[in-house]
Amino acid sequence: MTATLPTGLSARARVPASSANLGPGFDCLGMALGLYDEIVVTVAASGLDIRVEGEGADDVPWGPSHLVVRAIERGLESAGVWADGLSVVCRNSIPHSRGLGSSASAVVGGLAAANALAAKVSADLELSTAQMVQLASEFEGHPDNASASVLGGAVVSWSQEAGPPEGPRTFAATRLEVHPDVRATVFIPRERSSTVHTRGLLPELVPHRDAAFNAGRTGLAVVALTSHPELLMAATEDRLHQPYRASALPLTTRWVRSIRSRGYAATVSGAGPTVLALSTEPLPHDLIESARDEGITVLELDVAEGVVVD
Ligand SMILES: Nc1ncnc2c1ncn2[C@@H]1O[C@H](COP(=O)(O)OP(=O)(O)O)[C@@H](O)[C@H]1O
Ligand SMILES: N[C@@H](CCOP(=O)(O)O)C(=O)O
């Protein structure tokens, strides 16, 4: 039986951004980063009232098709609860379409807020962390981003395909504890890039030697991130997606090369255009200043914990 949530019941979710792939771990490695969206959901007597502040406020729809609203509805349905109306406030700091997992953060934040509402009515209704990973990954489509925003730290995510390729998939993820010396710096260009567009540039098949190269580098990335950060340069090399996306991301590609030429590990963050640098010391001042001179926003971010609700 579906429980109806009482009017006035409220929950808040604070959800981190994420950087997917981390170089070689295409569609399977991710890291939560300390840049946050906040979502406040209150049960109303009827209708939908939505307010968006900050990143994307002028671009996203303020109505039922809003990604956060759709995620809240999915979360309520999965937890087996019903709200007669909703008031939703989104305070966004994660830039959209820059390769920092904004869409996954929106979905994880909406699901987590809905789950918190359900848990306030009855602890028995609360979805588990594994269910959150599954729901967020199937809803958003990028388990590397979604798992990082749910679990925090760095993550390895994987899926089991049941039946035909377009059929339902079971997603799972595990968290890696990032070595405390690892620092994450993001270089965020002004220009946007659509994940769907740059995924379309990837070939259906890749040479076996490139697949083997990435398998080795992905294993190495887990070691470098958790216990041997001195291996980060080799561990962030990739042949599966960055070379194919380079033509669509000239500024990003130039900055990945430029940072690496100075001896610091750098990769395309997710599908770009942001560059993620991973280092054990702060990046040189002149490097950061010349990026800023090109209009690139440079931020050193903490490796974040997963979504938090209250
Ligand atoms: N907080 C949000 N609220 C509503 N929609 C969002 C939010 N974040 C992202 N989106 C939607 O997702 C799109 C960006 O997704 P995508 O191209 O995958 O880039 P990203 O790397 O930022 O996830 C935005 O254009 C917007 O439609
Ligand atoms: N593995 C995906 C990750 C997309 O991340 P986003 O932050 O750019 O949406 C990919 O590389 O396409």
CB-based contacts of 242, cutoff 8 Å, min separation 6: 23, 253, 256, 267, 268
34 known member of a binding site: no
- Ligand 2 atom nearest to 104, measured from its CA: 9
- Amino acid at the residue 209: R
Q: In this predicted structure, what is the pLDDT of residue 81?
A: 96
Highest CATH level, class, for 183-301: alpha beta
Nearest to 184 by CA among 33, 287, 16, 25: 33
- Ligand 2 atom nearest to 272, measured from its CA: 8
Question: Ligand 2 centre from 5 Cα, in Å?
Answer: 35
Question: Ligand 1 centre from 97 Cα, in Å?
Answer: 6
8 known member of a binding site: no
CA distance 103 to 249: 20
Pocket-forming residues, ligand 1, beta carbon under 6 Å: 37, 56, 60, 66-68, 90, 92, 96-103, 106, 194-195, 270
CA distance 296 to 294: 6
CA distance 37 to 76: 20
Nearest CA to ligand 2 atom 12: 271
Query: CATH number of 3-177+305-309: 3.40.50.620, 3.40.50.460, 3.30.230.10, 3.90.1300.10?
Result: 3.30.230.10
Q: In this predicted structure, what is the pLDDT of residue 161?
A: 72
Question: Ligand 2 centre from 187 Cα, in Å?
Answer: 16
Ligand nearest to the CA of 63: 1
Q: Is the CB of 270 under 6 A from ligand 2?
A: yes
CA distance 124 to 244: 47
Q: In this predicted structure, what is the pLDDT of residue 168?
A: 76
Domain 3-177+305-309 matches domain 183-301 at the CATH topology level: no
Structural domain spans, the chain = 3-177+305-309, 183-301
Are the C-beta atoms of 257 and 287 separated by less than 8 Å? no
Q: Is the CB of 56 under 6 A from ligand 2?
A: no
Residue to mutate, 37, 41, 96, 137, ligand 1, most ligand atoms under 8 Å from C-beta: 96
Q: In this predicted structure, what is the pLDDT of residue 162?
A: 62
Ligand nearest to the CA of 22: 2
16 known member of a binding site: no
Question: Left if phi > 0, otherwise alpha if psi is -120 to 50, otherwise beta: which for 163?
Answer: left
97 known member of a binding site: yes
DSSP 162: -
Q: Two tokens at 297?
A: 């926003």
Return per-residue pLDDT of the chain as tens, 310 residues.
688 999 999 999 999 999 999 999 999 999 999 999 999 999 999 999 999 999 999 999 999 999 999 999 999 999 999 999 999 999 999 999 999 999 999 999 999 999 999 999 999 999 999 999 999 999 988 999 999 999 999 999 999 876 666 777 899 999 999 999 999 999 999 999 999 999 999 999 999 999 999 999 999 999 999 999 999 999 999 999 999 999 999 999 999 999 999 999 999 999 999 999 999 999 999 999 999 999 999 999 999 999 999 9
Q: Is the CB of 279 under 6 A from ligand 2?
A: no
Question: Left if phi > 0, otherwise alpha if psi is -120 to 50, otherwise beta: which for 21?
Answer: left
Q: In this predicted structure, what is the pLDDT of residue 16?
A: 98
194 known member of a binding site: no
Question: Ligand 1 centre from 181 Cα, in Å?
Answer: 31
Q: In this predicted structure, what is the pLDDT of residue 2?
A: 83
For 186-254, the DSSP string reads EEE-SS---HHHHHTTS-S---HHHHHHHHHHHHHHHHHHHT-GGGHHHHT--SSSHHHHGGG-HHHHH
